[in-house]
Amino acid sequence: MKNVLYVDCCIRREGSRTKELAEHFLKELEKTGEYAITGLVLMDEGLNFMAEGFFRQRDELLAGKNFAHPRFCHAHQFAEADKIVIAAPFWDLSFPALLKVYIENLCVEGITFKTGERGLEGLCKADHMVYLTTRGGCYAGTPLEMGSRYMAAMAEFFGIGRYDCIAAEGLDIGLVPVEELLGAAKKEAEEVVKTF
């Protein structure tokens, strides 16, 4: 069995179309019987962002190589997963700040990356990251889309070789029914599961 870490940043929870898409992907994964999925709901994690004492504490812990401190639990969990699945809506041209706070907590030198001869090198075990999102407008392939592009860069930074984004977009424009747009993205999700 491969361990999948599912990071849920669907702020609107049960009302979220991104969550609906992610759950379809996970259901398809479960059907294969090859994956053990661990869910992490970021809204329930009480994550801290880096400011004042929280920032200083990190410096002190890292100076003492105290990687076992509980504040690094998310970095360890992420580094050890075989596969990563992240779901977040498109907000303000990228994603909710909560996901950035999570990433800030993941970026710990010595756990998820290290400084090597060629600069920074990823230390994460996962070989594939899948990012699921939905967008109100249409931005795919444009410079204004900075959610998936950022996540692709983070996957590379963490040493994760393969990255896929599954997106439904134009959901708030009203030209095509939401069910149709989500349905197409769900089909795409089924294809990605086949080579996950």
Rule CB under 6 A: is residue 183 a binding residue for ligand FMN?
Answer: no
Rule CB under 6 A: is residue 12 a binding residue for ligand FMN?
Answer: yes
Q: Which residue is nearest to ligand FMN (CB)?
A: 136
Rule CB under 6 A: is residue 114 a binding residue for ligand FMN?
Answer: no
The neighbouring-strand residues paired with 114 are 121
Name the segment binding ligand FMN (CB under 6 A); options: 23-31, 72-80, 130-138, 182-190.
Answer: 130-138
Cα separation, 133 vs 112, in Å, equals 24
> Residues 5, 79: contact at Cβ < 8 Å?
no
Pairing of strands 113-116, 2-8: unpaired
Helices 73-80 and 97-106 pack at an angle, to 10 degrees, of 80
User: Shortest Cβ distance from residue 4 to ligand FMN (Å)?
Assistant: 20
Helix, strand, coil distribution of the chain in percent, nearest 5: 40, 20, 35
Nearer to ligand FMN, 14 or 52 (CB): 14
Rule CB under 6 A: is residue 16 a binding residue for ligand FMN?
Answer: yes
Rule CB under 6 A: is residue 93 a binding residue for ligand FMN?
Answer: yes
Q: In the complex, which residues of this chain contact ligand FMN (CB under 6 A)?
A: 10, 12, 16-19, 89-93, 134-137, 171-172
